[in-house]
Amino acid sequence: MRTEVVVLLAILGVAFGSMPVYALGSARRRPDTLESSARGGFVLGGFVRSWFYWFIRPVEWTCLALGLPPLLFNLLGVGFGAAGGIAFATGHLTLGGWGVLLGGAMDVLDGRIARAQGVAGDQGAFLDSTLDRFAEFGAFVGLAVLYRGSPIGVAVVVTALGGSLLVSYARARGESVGVLCKGGIMQRAERLLMVGFGGILDPVVGVALGWPSRALLLWAIGIVALGTVATAVYRTVWIARRLATEGGE
């Protein structure tokens, strides 16, 4: 078994093993004051999201003790996204997957660190959301290079990138006219997980299933493409109807 898969399985084993511990102590645990109300729902449910924040708390506390600024995590997120894109472009799917997942972890930490330090504000929120788009752009450019020999592959990657940007744009444009819509099934967290795990598992699971190399990752990107376009359409219709209703009152 490949070393990177062993590492992934070990991390997942520790993670899933900690879930019962978290669940048993959740009744006595105080509400998470660092959770952002701006985040939308998570397809795996609120329990998994709350557990993840609890799971990474030692890292969070260490970063706070060192006085690391939130901007550092924004920049690390872009760096990991770009590194993941370069890894994908050069055919290193596992490294690309890890780059995407680590970039997502930085995205979680930047906001929590900012709120814990009491420095969260409009500038930070703007940099956070904008730099997230740079990170996604870098990863998807690398994926486009990876599938450059396949017109279908390139089309799927471009659709996933376009859908991802449309999901964010629909929300931002809605907020600019006074309507907040956080609904949908393929927000940033879901996109990161699909692409990240798709890259990590493709070299082993894909081969075990008898699939050609990169096929499993392409299926994962295809799910992202369908989910993001559907989410963007949903948000567009929902916001337009809300504006029409408010305009008629």
Could you list the active site residues? 132
Cβ atoms of 32 and 14 closer than 8 Å: no
- 156-174 in b/e form (b: 16+ CB < 10 A) is bbebbbebbbbbbebbeeb
Largest interatomic CA distance in the chain: 63
Distance, CA of 167 to CA of 173 (rounded, Å): 10
Tokens 């449910």 appear where? 45
Triad 215, 216, 217: Cα angle to 5°? 90
Cα distances (Å, whole numbers) of residue 49 to 52, 73, 90, 199:
5, 19, 32, 22
Here the tokens at position 163 are 């859908």
Q: Which of 82, 79, 84, 77 is nearest to 98 (CA)?
A: 84
Distance, CA of 126 to CA of 229 (rounded, Å): 24
